[in-house]
Amino acid sequence: MVAYSSGKDSKTRTFKNTVKGIHAFIQTLSPKEDHCVMEATGNYSSLLTYLLNEAGVTTSLENPLKIKNFARAMLSTIKTDEVDARIIAPYRERMRPKPYKLPSDAILTLRQKRTVIRQLKKQHIATRNLKGSMEALPFFDPSCKKSVTKTITFQEKQIKTMEEDLSVLAHKEYKKQMDLLTSIKGKASRLQLHSSWALVASLTLIMPSNLPVI
């Protein structure tokens, strides 16, 4: 849902949150004149932010709590997509939020890899716990045991592959920083992996949890 201005006669329009829908929205904008402001909603706002940036449209990502507080000050307690859009329009005009600087593709890729690795490790722990609980039973069906064991092996391979990919990409894109992080003597492979994670953690992509609230 989009509101183009805060004027009473201003109409709202709805576009799908897909590449095609966002491109249709961008066609209605003037990169030199328009400033898009949206609530930061994690992955749901990432595609829109990325494509607006690619099109050269000034974009701001704001913490939803800031918008909520502004709406409260405007005496608005109704929560719908259209109301949100109409609240954000005057918010942009009055608060003039700073443009959001989109991280590079390399940083976005590194963070995606880190997220996938974390989820794979959670699934791996859960599957191993499942295997342990089943082994405590009087009888562990052979086909079930085979399936769970194969899943654990597959997860371990996926984690290893993703960790290697993350380390290689981190070294390729940020060699200077990685050289500094791995300059301490020790177990090279593990230190390299931990350094890769430290680097990715330092390349922060602003998300709702760490956007400032005023």
> What does pLDDT average to over the chain?
79
Q: Is the pLDDT of residue 142 over 90?
A: yes
Higher pLDDT, 21 or 181: 21
Highest mean pLDDT pick, 27-31, 36-40, 87-91, 138-142 = 138-142
Range 169-189 average pLDDT: 60
Domain extent, residue 16, equals: 2-95
Residues 6+ apart with CB under 8 A from 97: 37, 60, 62, 91
Q: Is the pLDDT of residue 190 over 80?
A: no
Range 168-180 average pLDDT: 68
| 16 and 35 co-located in one domain | yes
| 42 and 21 co-located in one domain | yes
> Tokens 């593709």 sit at which residue?
105
Q: Is residue 40 part of a domain?
A: yes
Q: Is the pLDDT of residue 156 over 50?
A: yes
| CATH number of the structural domain spanning residue 134 | 1.20.58
Q: Given this model, what pLDDT does residue 179 score? A: 59
Count up the domains in the chain and report the number: 2
Q: Given this model, what pLDDT does residue 78 score? A: 55
Is the pTM here over 0.85, yes or no?
no
Range 115-130 average pLDDT: 96
Structure token pair of residue 92: 């942009």
Q: Which of 5-19, 125-139, 157-171 has the lowest mean pLDDT?
A: 5-19
DSSP assignment of the chain equals -EE--SSTT--EE---SSHHHHHHHHTT--TTT-EEEEE--THHHHHHHHHHHHTT-EEEEE-HHHHHHHHHHTT-----HHHHHHHHHHHHHHH-PPPP-PPPHHHHHHHHHHHHHHHHHHHHHHHHHHHHHHHTSS---HHHHHHHHHHHHHHHHHHHHHHHHHHHHHHHH-HHHHHHHT-S-S-HHHHHHHHHHHHHHHSPPP-GGGS---
How confident is residue 212, by pLDDT bands cut at 50, 70 and 90? Answer: very low
Given 95, 129, 150, the domain boundary residue is 95
CB 63 within 8 A of CB 208: yes
How confident is residue 205, by pLDDT bands cut at 50, 70 and 90? Answer: very low
How confident is residue 211, by pLDDT bands cut at 50, 70 and 90? Answer: very low
Q: Is the pLDDT of residue 204 over 50?
A: no
Q: Given this model, what pLDDT does residue 76 score? A: 61
| 132 and 91 co-located in one domain | no
| 129 and 183 co-located in one domain | yes
| 136 and 189 co-located in one domain | yes
Range 188-201 average pLDDT: 55
CB 203 within 8 A of CB 166: no
CB 116 within 8 A of CB 162: yes
